[in-house]
Structure 1
């Protein structure tokens, strides 16, 4: 079966995480992604490690499959002209250079759309192309700090903490993949391409979702709650006799079902815990009492009991435990790709499962310039 984006060509001038994650998704869906770097390789993640496997960094391998690689010197007119020629038959052009850089190179949207009016041009920057910070570069850590994300992670004792994965890059990569596909659909109706102005900062603000809505509605500045939920109780991490697990009670019925399993029946009878709103108001006392009760059994014992009652819960796994879990394996979330120089690469599989246009793993993460002899304006444009 052909991929959903079979026949879509993407000229990819992105590096590090947000852009490469977006273009990997497009590549997984069948698009022909041409990764463009400076001679020698200018994607910094090629050198971010350890770990390395025969010279390839795990970071680079994570987000660069299903791409072909060419190297071009954009400081030379010949290199810029090569890009212009590639753009003639491209559907998508995507970059994550600082605002204004591509325009100075003669590769901005206004310039390239004259060559190909159907071109979808996606610009990924730290703060977007307007506003007082439009000129600044964007780094996930900085964006987590400035968007408020760090302020709601951790506890009042720990102070602000960043998320363990560069989530604002990932959010932006996902939004970029969505935006590009939406623009492809719009082009089918209008016959014209368009420009997408996407920023890490905007995407981080957007993905605050209910926390942002809480603030906008109440005017109260959210405090860091650790593993607690700001709107629901009990919805946190608790201690069983053999380790930590999460209980996610979403309504009053589930809470009463939980209370029926506890030795201390006074918890369910306490008026302060009857409704979610009152539980939120008395979260510290309730969580303390629940922890005392939940320490009396193992995680597996609680999970069996909770599942019988329809109470959502799950153990806190390490990354190793998560990747060894039968659910991970059953869903093909680990894939092996054979690389002629690197050997067998273990990569995270795509979560996208289609009944007709299945995701495919066609191309291993390329070496810098690996396809220079196969992709050029002279020999590739009519493929």
Structure 2
């Protein structure tokens, strides 16, 4: 099959964005690694996604689908070029090494130690390519936790996240998205960017190691701090907050409305809007500490007043008064709100018949344009283009 000239040109021409000129060898699959490499691709890096003959696991995670392809895979793989390689085949393994020899960054989430037999481990590659930034993503680290499978749900369970999620009456509940993987992907991206920056000074790459467990323990912020700094084991509180009141959904005349008061000034404005200004000076509720101590009494008072009007009516009044509040919506509502606010949450990737809507990169740059030209690739779709790119480029000296 002849390589698509447009795809070859895409690989050979620097893209727009703050990472233009950076090449990433992506040996990761499922979510944490692919999310990180998609962020890098959005920022202008050339990302070569090296898959097995079966492809990334998420290609088979359906439903939902779009034109027969799983939307899970589509969500984290735009901007990449796919080539399927069998590392057990010496010729195909050689291609993988050729790709790495041209890469600035390698991202992998294989079981710790399993890439060593192919010479694709950090020790081997850093000796050959000392400026390579090598990012390893594991569930529980490469030492004592190496044999533990790094699945998001498992980490939610053992980290304490599930124990903190759900109602006080019910049992632990997982978060509605693989948040541990996503947070880990963000941490991996930050580590890679820091290592690339350090390379400008030292000329040397680094081994960036990120674990799912450590990532979510960091992301639990005030809850893990409650234990490590205060000796308090946090407990499940449903929609309440351990340190803020009112900070939860409240019933109205129709739908529930979330009110998220973070300081005394916001509370005073809330009291004015709902026609109960005296609450702000009531000694039970005047400060955050006092409100937390009397949260049950305050909830009753607020609920009685909020039930007199509908959620949308309260939302508009509170928004004008700069009180954090909002209705509880589905994902469709979230996209519509972002669109209404001019945030342009949906971008189309690809060209011609293969144009796929995806969620926009979460960062804006004043001086750089992000590139969404490459749609999530079909398995091995870019093999010929990658091989032609390899034939027309050379390994970078010292890399």
Mark yes or no: TM-score above 0.5: yes
Contact 1:153 1:224 in 2 (8 A): yes
User: In the alignment, what sits opposite 1:372?
Assistant: 383
Q: Does 1:20 align with 2:34?
A: yes
Change (3 A) 1:162 1:282: same
Change (3 A) 1:116 1:96: same
Q: Does 1:101 align with 2:123?
A: no
Contact 1:239 1:295 in 2 (8 A): yes
Q: Does 1:202 align with 2:220?
A: no
Q: Does 1:61 align with 2:74?
A: yes
Q: 1:283 aligns with which of 278, 295, 306?
A: 295
Superposed CA deviations along residues 287-309 of structure 1, whole A, max 9, x for unmatched, are: 22211211111222212322333
In the alignment, the residues of structure 2 paired with residue 140 and residue 59 of structure 1 have an alpha-carbon distance, to the nearest angstrom, of: 15
Contact 2:351 2:373 in 1 (8 A): no
Secondary structure (helix, strand or coil) at the match of 1:20 reads helix
Q: Does 1:33 align with 2:44?
A: no
Query: In the TM superposition, what is the alpha-carbon distance from 1:74 to its structure 2 partner?
Result: 1.0
Query: In the TM superposition, what is the alpha-carbon distance from 1:262 to its structure 2 partner?
Result: 3.2
Query: In the TM superposition, what is the alpha-carbon distance from 1:229 to its structure 2 partner?
Result: 1.5
Query: In the TM superposition, what is the alpha-carbon distance from 1:89 to its structure 2 partner?
Result: 1.5
Query: In the TM superposition, what is the alpha-carbon distance from 1:328 to its structure 2 partner?
Result: 5.4
Secondary structure (helix, strand or coil) at the match of 1:321 reads helix
Change (3 A) 1:113 1:380: farther
Query: In the TM superposition, what is the alpha-carbon distance from 1:284 to its structure 2 partner?
Result: 2.1
In the alignment, the residues of structure 2 paired with residue 11 and residue 378 of structure 1 have an alpha-carbon distance, to the nearest angstrom, of: 13
For residues 257-272 of structure 1, the aligned pairs below 5 Å read 257-264=269-276, 267-272=279-284
Secondary structure (helix, strand or coil) at the match of 1:36 reads strand
In the alignment, the residues of structure 2 paired with residue 176 and residue 104 of structure 1 have an alpha-carbon distance, to the nearest angstrom, of: 24
CA RMSD for the aligned pairs?
1.9
Deviates more, 1:23-32 or 1:304-313: 304-313
For residues 1-383 of structure 1, the aligned pairs below 5 Å read 2-39=16-53, 41-130=54-143, 132-264=144-276, 267-325=279-337, 327=339, 330-338=342-350, 343-376=354-387, 378-382=390-394
Change (3 A) 1:136 1:202: same
Tell me the TM-score normalised to structure 2 length.
0.90
Contact 1:323 1:329 in 2 (8 A): no
Secondary structure (helix, strand or coil) at the match of 2:248 reads strand
In the alignment, the residues of structure 1 paired with residue 166 and residue 67 of structure 2 have an alpha-carbon distance, to the nearest angstrom, of: 37
Secondary structure (helix, strand or coil) at the match of 2:47 reads strand
Unaligned runs of 5+ in 2: 1-14
Deviates more, 1:256-265 or 1:213-222: 256-265
Contact 1:98 1:136 in 2 (8 A): no
Secondary structure (helix, strand or coil) at the match of 2:391 reads coil
Contact 2:244 2:288 in 1 (8 A): yes
Contact 1:96 1:123 in 2 (8 A): yes
Change (3 A) 1:378 1:250: closer
In the alignment, the residues of structure 2 paired with residue 142 and residue 288 of structure 1 have an alpha-carbon distance, to the nearest angstrom, of: 38
Contact 1:12 1:23 in 2 (8 A): yes
Contact 1:46 1:59 in 2 (8 A): yes
Unaligned runs of 5+ in 1: none
Secondary structure (helix, strand or coil) at the match of 2:19 reads coil
In the alignment, the residues of structure 1 paired with residue 341 and residue 259 of structure 2 have an alpha-carbon distance, to the nearest angstrom, of: 24
In the alignment, the residues of structure 2 paired with residue 288 and residue 359 of structure 1 have an alpha-carbon distance, to the nearest angstrom, of: 49
Change (3 A) 1:113 1:381: farther
Secondary structure (helix, strand or coil) at the match of 1:118 reads coil
Contact 1:242 1:299 in 2 (8 A): yes
